Amino acid sequence: MSRILIADDDEQICTVVSRLLGPDGHLVTAVHCGAEAIAALRSSSYDLLLLDLVMPRKGGIETIMEIRGEVPQLPIIVMSGQVRFEEESISRLVQHYGAIASLAKPFSSDELRSAVTAALA
C-alpha cells in the first residue's frame, strides 16, 4: 500500500482522486494548499505527492521548492487546470522544479493511474 498526499484547493479533485486511487490499494490524504502539504509531510511520510500548481496562500512552485529542501527524494506529480502549457513547456517545468510528471486537468482515470504507477515504480 502506498501513501499518497494530494494538495489541491478543489475539493472535488481531492474526492475524485481519493475514490480512484483508494480501490487500487493506496491510502490517500488530501490537503488544500501548499502550506498544509508541507505540514503533512513534516508530520508523516508519503510515497508520492500530487500537487496542484495554482492554489491560494502557497502555490505549487513555492511548495515544490520548499519540499525539495526537506524531502528531496519524494516523487511529485504536478497538476493544473488553470495554467495550460505546451508539452515542451511542461517538460521544462517538470525538470526544472523536480517534479517527475504532470497532469493537465481534467485528466482521465487512466492518465492518473498511469502517472501514479510510473511514479511509484
Task: Map out the domains of the chain as residue ranges.
Answer: 3-120
CA distance 53 to 60: 4
Decide yes or no: CATH 3.40.50.2300 for domain 3-120.
Answer: yes
- pTM of the prediction? 0.90
Residue 1 pLDDT: 87
Answer with the residue of higher pLDDT: 79 or 76.
76
Answer with the residue of higher pLDDT: 8 or 80.
8
Give 65-68 contacts, CB < 8 A, sequence gap 24+: 65/97, 66/34, 66/38, 67/37, 67/38, 67/41, 68/97, 68/98
CA distance 84 to 67: 23
